Structure 1
Amino acid sequence: MSEAIRILHVDDNPSFCDLTREFLQREDSRFEVVSENSPTDALNRIQTEQEQLDCLLSDYNMPEMNGLEFLETLQQQFPDFSAPFILLTGEGNEDVAAEALNIGASSYIQKGNPEVYEYVATRIRHDLETEQAYRDSQRFDTLLSAIDDPFYILDGNGRFSYVNNAFCDLTGYDRATIRGSDPSLVKDEQAVAVGEKYLAQLLSNDGPDSTTFEVKIQPKNGDAIHCEDRMSVLPYEGEEFRGSLGVLRDISERKAREQQLREAKERYQLLVEQSLIGLYISRGTEIIYHNPKFAELFGCTDEANVLASESLSERVQPADRDRLADNLGEVMIGDRDSIREPFVGVQADGDTINIELLARKIELDGEPAVIGTVVDADEDDQSYWQLRRERDRLEAFTSIVSHDLRTPLSVAQGRIELVLQELTEGSAVESLEDADRALRRMEAMLGELLTLAKQGEVVADTEPASIQEIAESTWENVETADAHLHVSTDNSIEADPGRMKSLFENLYKNAVEHGRSDITLRVGASEEGIYIEDDGPGIPADVREEVFEPGYSSSEEGTGFGLSIVEEIVEAHGWEIGITEAESGGARFDITGVEFAE
């Protein structure tokens, strides 16, 4: 409302218009009264000045149309005109008064003595303030309804005086139900007490301007909702407390995540504390953390006993300390991914114990560190030591095959080559050529045998490997005659790329060796894993298990180790392989249990 209050007075008596103007402007210097003597003239003025008019005074008894008809015409022609309409009449008539208020008049005043002008001025001010307050509330309601988060206002008595649409959506109650009710409608007794506690803090002399706290909101239906309430106090009117307001934020998802983290932490703590394997974290050989089993392995009765040792080195015999320090140092600087080595441990009472120590590099507080395990090699890990001995024997075997057998084979092949160059008699040449082929076959078999021995080692580290890239690059390095390759997947799997190449190489060779020269191979992915199939003669069902046995071959030229190597690679990854018939009638190898990379 502007500082000047412009009033349009409509009355068919010009003298009464002049008198009314004089009295009203005397009552309030802000009043600026303009007059029209007929409703038609008044409507014309409203058409051009409606934005400047703040209030209408209208007589009831006028010859052209009465005051009620004038109001109805005004509403029809100018539906957006919202200035207060005060009806003046010379005689009291309750029916007229009721109808006037019913159709939209803001006030009904009976003309009379001069004192009525004071009342008219008061009514004008009141109706204008009411209209302005209504407009403000409409804008306020529109603004707060647009807020995405639930919003509420509590009056000085602690009852809801306003809530927005989001608050209604959160609680499941409509505004009519919420307004006038106290917070117990949507909070239990404990939550109400929490809100009152934080409100008291805001009202204290040294209290903050606002505060944020967690509260559970109980909707009309369903479980309680975890919310965050940001509360503040409404501006005071003098010394009068007018109430508080707050914005709620649904934090149910955050609380659920926090609960999951707590549960995960509890499980992790339980796993570490109750583990049957000694766990430790160190920087180099300096112990930072260990679990109870670690202390138990070294015969320590308390944590201080273990941590009193400045380093892991003091928990192994002197002869092993340099080796342990070197190994951990190599892990720390990244020269080795991990270590798994046997040591002789020294317990608190001086007794010794055979241990196996594993370590891997981690980052702790932004600096390199080591996390590892320690187990009693004599009690808890016999199977590992047996496997280690088997591995050592296998390494010794492959060394013998590689050196002690290959060397004389190479000498024999060289001698035969020299003799072949000197001989001319046909039968002798033919015999030596047969011997040469046999030696070369033995050489190939030894090579395949060495590969078979190495490929069976369990794959410790994998990385995302593109099926298409490995399949196609391997194809380029294999003699495939006129054969064709089609790859229909761009998926990647977690695997050892080097062994995957060997897997594809042996499957390609097997298909080309036993199929046509123009055989077609297809590589693809299924829901269960990957497959390699061809359109060759296929593999009979009764020998599909035998083909994976070392030395099995249906070809005189083959070594019989190709598919054995494939199976070893598959099992080293923890996968499975099976043979079926392809739609083309050829052989199809399905490798399942693979992990597709994201």
Structure 2
Amino acid sequence: MNARLQSDLERQPAQTETISILVVDDEQDYVDITATHIQRQQKDVTVSTVEDSRTAITRLEETEVDCIISVYDMTPLTGIELLRKVREDYGDLPFILLTAKGSEDLASQAISAGVSDYYQKGFGNDYYEKLANRVTSLVKKRREKQGTASRRTFFDNAPFAAIEWDSQLDAVQLNETAREILGYSSTEFEGCSLKQIVPESERDTVQKIVGNLLAEKGTQTHKTEIVTNNGKRISCQWRSRACTDESGEIVAIYSQFHALSEYEELKLKNQKLNRLVSVVSHDLRNPVQSLSLSLAAVEQNGADEENIGRCRRSLDRIEALIDDLLTIGKQDGDLNTQLIGLETLVDECRENIEVGPATVICTTELKIMADPGRALQLLENLISNAIKHGADSGIIRIGTIENGFYVEDDGPGIPPEKRDTVFEYGYSRTTTGTGFGLTIVQEVAKDHGWDVVLTESKEGGARFEILDVETAEQS
């Protein structure tokens, strides 16, 4: 994050900072009494005094002042003339005017000149308490206004995407860069939550991050994908900061995010490749070792059916691993999307997969916008997974849901605590599986901008929902 913006966004409201007050009066005794009593009333104040308006102007040029308390009747400039000079040079600097006696005409002039408040000179604890409290209130209000304006200036002109949220993390506004990335206007995005622009598969994670941010009232950094207004998915780095008032209540939350650069994307792909190589090299050892032992047994005892069968099974597993590895390795290629019917894809799956006693039923004529080859990979792996882990002679259904389609079986299902794990590289619930089938499913879905949600079918089996799918009706 830009260092200046980060500093500004992280600065808490300055209510606890010392308040500097300048008292202007040509009556030295009254100046001293006023300064003493105000400092007694408020701990975090410093009071300096001058006896004429010219000296006051010089003091303002030399020292930062948060509030001026000035009498009206003095020379060479009256209090109202000094006020006009302050407004000309220092904008909305709080200015309290004191008069020896009340006057409607004088009050009208003061208001026209932009006075912050107007009091008749007085004495006593109640008077000074009221004066001190008014000074504190005016300074606090100005500081909050300055902080908001400063953040808004940096926010609007930031070279990166930024979003302002309210205390419940509903969007208040987004800057131009964020509008360009997300594809929303400020009006369209107002009131949206962070969860609404991330894929469904990442919403639980984002909810935890939001919970931590609201509870800890600090800073949260994370990586997540976003889904733009036109459905495009972009990997982004996020940094969010909660800003609080003096009581510790959250008043605003600012998020900065940027799309991961080409270098960062390549770095992530290399990490993915390293994980893949590690898993595959580990998984290849077992069938290679089994093949070596079987061949040694053949050399020693001759070719019998048991050893030959073991060799074939090892070779089949090696071939399956290589096929899956090649499939995953090609995942980053360009998509050639077109409208294709789910029923057509399912028919092709039946030809390519050994279905056995299972029954594969497609209950929809839905046409989806997809790369036919990649979509076929997704369906083949989901159907194969259902055949392997579903019930004997089970039924596998492919049907339509509101924003996509599903593949479900009537087998034993997958426990909730394992539903995230099954998508990991090399995870398999059997000794014969490669552990890459569902990884391929997730990668194909991700490249299309789809979400994969694993849940439970009505029969208690596994149900994979493919969401955010563009259909013929939307094209």
What is the TM-score when the length of structure 2 is the normalising length? 0.41
Larger relative contact order (CA 8 Å, sep ≥ 6): 2
What is the TM-score when the length of structure 1 is the normalising length? 0.34
